[in-house]
Homo-oligomer: A and B are copies of this chain.
Amino acid sequence: MRPYRGALIGCGYASWFQLTAWSRIEGVEIVAVSSRNRERAEQRAAEFNVPAVYTDYRKMLDAESLDFVDIATPPIVHLEMITEAAHRGLHVLCQKPIADTLAELREMIQICDRAGVMFMVNENCRFQPWFRKMKALIDEGAIGRPYYANFTSRWRASLPVANFGARPWFAEMPRFVNYELGVHYLDTLRYLFGEADSLYAQMRRVSPHIAGEDLAMLMLRIGEVTAVVDMSWASIPAWEAEQSVSWGEYRIEGTEGTLHLRKDGLLRLITDEDEERYPFPSNSEVLGYQGAQQHFIDCLRSGVEPETSGRETLKTMELVFGAYDSAAHDRIYYIGRDLERLQ
């Protein structure tokens, strides 16, 4: 079987994780990278033995013989890049958050459909091994009937000064923690429990040093499950584990057990009789990318629509934008029924 040939567009924060993950996946070659910043592109190429470097991704798409592109740029250029790739018959894997509006995402889907190429959003959270494990445990009945989920993230980053490390643009994002992180959690809740009925959200901009919200608190109704997405990038975390493996704490409660993933990467399955422990290693972030990318390749091979196809991601983005609608107007957002509000 000949390897799939891919090119990476964008050599910023996420590219290291994506290239590391690609290096672990059988049957794939990353044959070129591009970035408007040549130095960065050359650095990534050197790190990962990528043979070709471009500063104009269009020239890369024309010059290289490719099967797919992996887009790791900000949302504002996604539509343009997806269009260029699809018109050349290339399959598309593209970073989250995918688009600033549902209309834009629908356009991407249509372009890829018409070109007959696969379009998957690179959603690494649901592919993180602990969420895969939790899903398997839920499906085999380990916690009985689940009725409650809580995803809590705390990161002291917007206060007392804005300090986002390798992602300084976070300070400028008009929609911030729910758009950047909430999209992960909302997609993962869909993976675990299916489609939501409604959501209610409160958001606050706590720090004066940023443009968007750094506190977002969402409550969803997902059939029999009440789900809480509780995010703050302003707050000092109360958890005592120093090591950050999982970016937060996650709890899923069912009639016969509780699943608890601690920030240090230990997943606990607690029942009335017993506790099982499943530790996860600290290189977690790469494992999420790896899972997503492996799935993309598997879907290219099988022709099956990816779990996080553009079409599926429409449902996730309705939740993301629905949360902003709820918070802005202080009203409950009903999935599907309130869709016209988001147009």
Contact = CB atoms under 8 A, between A and B. Distances in A.
Interface of A: 147-148, 150, 156, 159-160, 198, 200, 202, 204, 206-207, 215, 217, 219, 221, 224, 226, 228, 230, 232, 234-238, 251, 253, 255-258, 260, 268, 270-272, 330-332
Q: Which 5 A-B pairs rank lowest in CB-CB distance, beginning with the nearest?
A: A238-B260, A235-B253, A236-B258, A202-B226, A200-B200
Nearest to A334: B330
A31 B236 CA distance: 50
B238 A251 contact: yes
Nearest to A269: B236
Contacts of A159: 255-256
Given A148-B235, A272-B160, A228 B226 contact: no
Contacts of A256: 159-160
A260 B160 CA distance: 19
A196 to B, nearest CB: 12
Contacts of A224: 204
Contact of A235 (B156, B207, B258): B258
Contacts of A260: 238
Given A150-B230, A332-B332, 4 more contacts: A160-B255, A204-B224, A215-B226, A221-B330
25 contacts: A147-B206, A147-B234, A148-B215, A148-B232, A148-B235, A156-B272, A160-B255, A160-B256, A198-B330, A200-B200, A202-B219, A204-B224, A204-B226, A207-B255, A217-B219, A217-B226, A217-B228, A221-B330, A234-B255, A235-B253, A236-B258, A238-B251, A238-B268, A238-B270, A330-B332
